[in-house]
Amino acid sequence: MFRLIVLAAAISASVACVAPRLALVKQRESPVLTTRHPDAAGNKYGFEGGRAVKVGSTYHLFTSEMTGDPIWVKMRFGHWRSEDGSVWTRAGTIRESSGEFAGEDPRAALWSPIPIFDDGENRWNLFYVAYRAAPSTPQRFLLNHAGEIWRAVSERSGQEGIGGPYRDLGVVLRPGPDSDPWEGLQGTDSFFPYRAGSGWQALYGSARSEVMPIAYWWVGMASSPSPGGPWRRLSRQNPARIEKSFIENPIVTSLPHGGYLCVYDSNVPDAIGYAYSRDGVKWNPGAPLIIQPRTTVWSHDVRTPLGLIPEGGNLYTVFYTGFEQKPDWERLLAGRGGNATCAIGVATVRLELE
pLDDT at 337: 72
Report which secondary-structure segment, H or E, holds 310: strand 301-310
What pLDDT was estimated at residue 10?
36
Q: How far, in Å, CA of 12 to CA of 5, rounded?
A: 11
Residue 334's pLDDT is 74
Give the distance between the most distant pair of CA atoms in the chain. Answer: 74
Please tell me the pTM assigned to this model: 0.93
Give the model's pLDDT for residue 327. Answer: 83
Instruction: Tell whether domain 24-353 is in CATH 3.40.50.970.
Output: no
Q: Report pLDDT for 331.
A: 80
Q: What pLDDT, on the 0 to 100 scale, is given for residue 18? A: 67
Counting runs of H as helices and runs of E as strands, what totals does the chain give? 2, 20
CA distance 110 to 131: 6
**pLDDT confidence of residue 226:** 97
| Domain-wise residue ranges, the chain | 24-353
User: pLDDT of the chain along its 354 residues, tens only?
Assistant: 333 333 333 333 333 456 899 999 999 999 999 999 999 999 999 999 999 999 999 999 999 999 998 899 999 999 999 999 999 999 999 999 999 999 999 999 999 999 999 999 999 999 999 999 999 999 999 999 999 999 999 999 999 999 999 999 999 999 999 999 999 999 999 999 999 988 999 999 999 999 999 999 999 999 999 999 999 999 999 999 999 999 999 999 999 989 999 999 998 999 999 999 999 999 999 999 999 998 888 999 999 999 999 999 999 999 999 999 988 888 887 777 777 899 999 999 999 986
The beta-carbon contacts of 38-44 under 8 Å, at least 24 apart in sequence, are: 39/80, 39/88, 39/89, 39/90, 40/65, 40/90, 42/67, 43/67, 43/78, 44/68, 44/69, 44/341
The confidence score (pLDDT) of residue 21 equals 96
